[in-house]
């Protein structure tokens, strides 16, 4: 058997490696660097910056822990942005090199070029044609544009360009309070930028639990980040004021029926991502798709039975780890194997300070589906480890079934939504419990080490 995979992001390269382990010959095509958006201009480099910001904040509060790190507090709060950028590049290069080494496998042929599907079994790469039994499309997504007057002005930053900025702007306007926008807002606020976030929806993190979003907004606001929700951006123009490096942008928006404006040195456009579907030749094989992504069934199979699509290009859950498991599902289906993967239960994390994380259904989703539910909460301020860390801001909200009448066990855990120290790591425990259809009573019988942050789940 032979498979062609278009796109060497996490979904593509992980699927290629698993297929090769099963003895399947793979041609993996990538037009850029292996690792895709996640490794090169997304998940990994942003987390390097998040870590630098975290260390900086710890240094600023060192005296609270009886630690005198250097001679003066002013020195403690400095950031060497050049070294931050250097470390970011080194980490990305290290991990990319590791992926390239893994792909140096006898059954994997890695091609660098642009792929076009010619028919249900043929892919052309820079003039050369390759034939396979199956094709898996894993081309990912790209930053969405800002569809307003001046939304295409030179100098407006996407997330990729924000990672390559060569200085810390004195002021930063972030348009969009999703995961990407909030992470950059958190990081550059720590680095010293005056940050304003404008969000069109009524809450930050629109797809997250409303309680979590409300409390996280309060927490970020306490750090000096100005967040304006229900703000409809109308236009962006070059400002008259000279900021930082002698440039500025004027952002006009509507808030509660009134015209408002702000001026900032730089503007980050973080209004979502769009599946990369154009130019792939999908129509040549009868694959149904739209600007929202490629249509797939539960096995990630497209309307052409020999072609599958995984990851961001499907427009479903735009997360690297979701792409990996979608790829595994597709490969299992190709091989005629069943699996126990529940693609509806995918944890997500936001690496702000404090972190936020979520898995499963929210209260709003349950009510929308007619599922009787209730929520139980606990708070980090009552957790001994959090108090010792000096990181008590945050809570855990567990959504459970309230009765047996809707197809769920009484007390079955349906979702968990939290923010606080190490929330991104802690959410894994709740993911396991939800996947195993555990109840809140099952959770209460699990012994957690003391003192640990995981004890916050003792609701």
Catalytic positions, please? 450
Does 177 appear as a known binding residue?
Answer: yes
182 is in an annotated binding site: yes
**CA pair distance 343, 21, nearest whole angstrom:** 23
Look at residues 170, 190, 191 and name the one whose alpha carbon lies nearest to residue 245.
Answer: 170
- In angstroms, the Cα distances linking 392 to 55, 354, 456 are 18, 10, 11
Contacts of 234 (CB under 8 A, 6+ apart): 148, 149, 252, 253, 254, 259
Per the annotation, does 181 bind a ligand? yes
Tell me if 312 is assigned to a ligand binding site: yes
What sign does the CA torsion over 342, 345, 351, 357 have?
negative
Binding site annotation covers 397? Answer: no
CA torsion, points 301, 312, 111, 103, in degrees to nearest 10?
-90
Q: Cα separation of 275 and 337, whole Å?
A: 28
* Total residue length of the chain: 459
Residue 98, marked binder? no
Is 9 one of the annotated binding-site residues?
no
Residue 180 among known ligand-binding residues: yes
Q: Of 182, 178, 162, 175, whose CA–CA distance to 252 is shortest? A: 175
User: Which residues, 6 or more positions from 459, have their beta carbon under 8 angstroms from its beta carbon?
Assistant: 376, 377, 378, 396, 398, 440, 443, 444
For the chain, the straight-line distance linking the first and the last C-alpha, in angstroms and rounded, comes to 51
Query: Would the annotation count 319 as a binding residue?
Result: yes
35 is annotated as contributing to ligand binding: no
Please tell me the distance from the alpha carbon of residue 455 to that of residue 391, in angstroms, as a whole number: 15
Asked whether the beta carbons of 96 and 33 are under 8 A apart, the reply is yes
Which residues, listed in sequence order, are joined to residue 250 by a DSSP beta bridge?
Answer: 237, 263
Would you say 342 is a known binding-site residue? no
321 is in an annotated binding site: yes
Q: Which residues are annotated as a binding site for FAD?
A: 47, 139-141, 312, 318-321
Q: Which residues are annotated as a binding site?
A: 47, 139-141, 176-183, 199, 272, 312, 318-321
Q: Which residues are annotated as a binding site for NAD(+)?
A: 176-183, 199, 272
């Amino acid at each position: 058997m032979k498979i062609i995979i278009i796109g060497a992001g996490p979904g593509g390269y992980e699927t290629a490696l698993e297929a090769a382990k099963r003895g399947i010959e793979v041609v993996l095509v990538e037009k850029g660097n292996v690792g895709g958006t996640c490794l090169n201009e997304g998940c990994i480099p942003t987390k390097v910056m998040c870590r630098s910001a975290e260390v900086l904040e710890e240094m600023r509060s060192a005296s609270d822990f009886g630690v005198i790190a250097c001679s003066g507090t002013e020195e403690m709060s400095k950031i060497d942005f050049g070294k931050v950028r250097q470390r970011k590049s080194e980490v990305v290069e290290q991990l990319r090199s590791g992926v390239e080494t893994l792909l140096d496998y006898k059954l994997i042929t890695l091609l660098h070029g642009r792929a076009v599907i010619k028919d249900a079994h043929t892919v052309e790469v820079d003039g050369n044609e390759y034939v396979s039994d199956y094709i898996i499309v894993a081309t990912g997504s790209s930053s969405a544009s800002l569809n307003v007057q001046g939304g295409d002005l030179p100098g407006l930053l996407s997330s990729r360009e924000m990672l390559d900025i060569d200085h810390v702007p004195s002021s930063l306007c972030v348009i969009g309070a999703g995961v990407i926008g909030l992470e950059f807002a958190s990081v550059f606020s720590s680095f010293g930028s005056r940050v304003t976030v404008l969000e069109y929806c009524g809450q930050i993190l629109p797809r997250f639990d409303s309680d979590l979003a409300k409390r996280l907004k309060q927490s970020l606001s306490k750090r000096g980040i100005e967040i304006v929700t229900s703000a409809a951006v109308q236009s962006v123009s070059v400002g008259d004021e000279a900021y930082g490096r002698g440039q500025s942008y004027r952002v006009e928006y509507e808030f509660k029926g009134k015209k408002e404006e702000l001026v900032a040195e730089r503007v980050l456009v973080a209004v979502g991502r769009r599946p990369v579907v154009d130019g792939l030749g999908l129509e040549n094989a009868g694959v149904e798709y739209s600007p929202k992504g490629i249509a797939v069934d539960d096995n990630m199979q497209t309307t052409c039975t020999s072609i599958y699509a995984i990851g961001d290009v499907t427009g479903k859950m735009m997360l690297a780890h979701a792409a990996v498991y979608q790829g595994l599902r597709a490969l299992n289906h190709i091989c005629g194997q069943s699996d126990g993967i529940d693609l509806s239960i995918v944890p997500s994390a936001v690496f702000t300070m404090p972190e936020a994380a979520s898995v499963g259904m929210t209260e709003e989703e349950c009510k929308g589906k007619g599922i009787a539910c209730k929520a139980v909460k606990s708070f980090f301020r009552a957790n001994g480890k959090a108090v010792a860390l000096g990181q008590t801001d945050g809570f855990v909200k567990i959504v459970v079934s309230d009765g047996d009448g809707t197809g769920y066990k009484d007390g079955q855990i349906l979702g968990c939504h939290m923010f606080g120290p190490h929330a991104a790591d802690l959410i894994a425990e709740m993911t396991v419990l939800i996947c195993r259809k555990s109840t809140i009573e099952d959770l209460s019988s699990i012994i957690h080490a003391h003192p640990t942050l995981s004890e916050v789940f003792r609701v």
